Amino acid sequence: MSESEIIVEHQPSEERLQSLGVRGWPVWTKEPSEFPWSYDQTEVCYLLEGQVIVTPERGNPVEFGRGDLVTFPKGLSCTWKILQAVRKHYRFS
């Protein structure tokens, strides 16, 4: 995975979520907003609510929302644009 590659799994199965232990991960919430972000670790998150566009410094915008499982690579610098308030499970590794 390159440092600008965001991977979105649209509507993964409950079995996939259970295999990752998603329901036991912490929850993060954020109101509609726009802000820069850099990843010093890989993050995997699962959106319970919301709609987001993330634009890597070098790359095309990636849109995702409720029910999507998203992986952000270590080293990614990007801008988050939250269109609808977000609630997500997340895990850093």
| pTM: predicted TM-score of the whole model, two decimal places | 0.94
Q: What is the mean pLDDT of residues 58-78?
A: 96
Q: Which CATH superfamily is domain 7-92 in?
A: Jelly Rolls (2.60.120.10)
Q: What is the mean pLDDT of residues 63-90?
A: 98
pLDDT (tens digit per residue) in 8-20: 999 999 999 999 9
Q: What is the pLDDT of residue 58?
A: 86
Nearest to 2 by CA among 73, 89, 70, 77: 73
- Give residue limits of the domains in the chain: 7-92
Residue 3: what are its φ and ψ, rounded to 5°? -75, 0
Q: Is the pLDDT of residue 67 over 70?
A: yes
Nearest to 75 by CA among 35, 36, 51, 40: 40
**Torsion angle of C-alpha atoms 54, 59, 60, 62, degrees rounded to 10:** -30
Instruction: Band the pLDDT of 4: cuts 50, 70, 90.
Output: low
Q: How far apart are CA 29 and CA 8, in angstroms?
A: 19
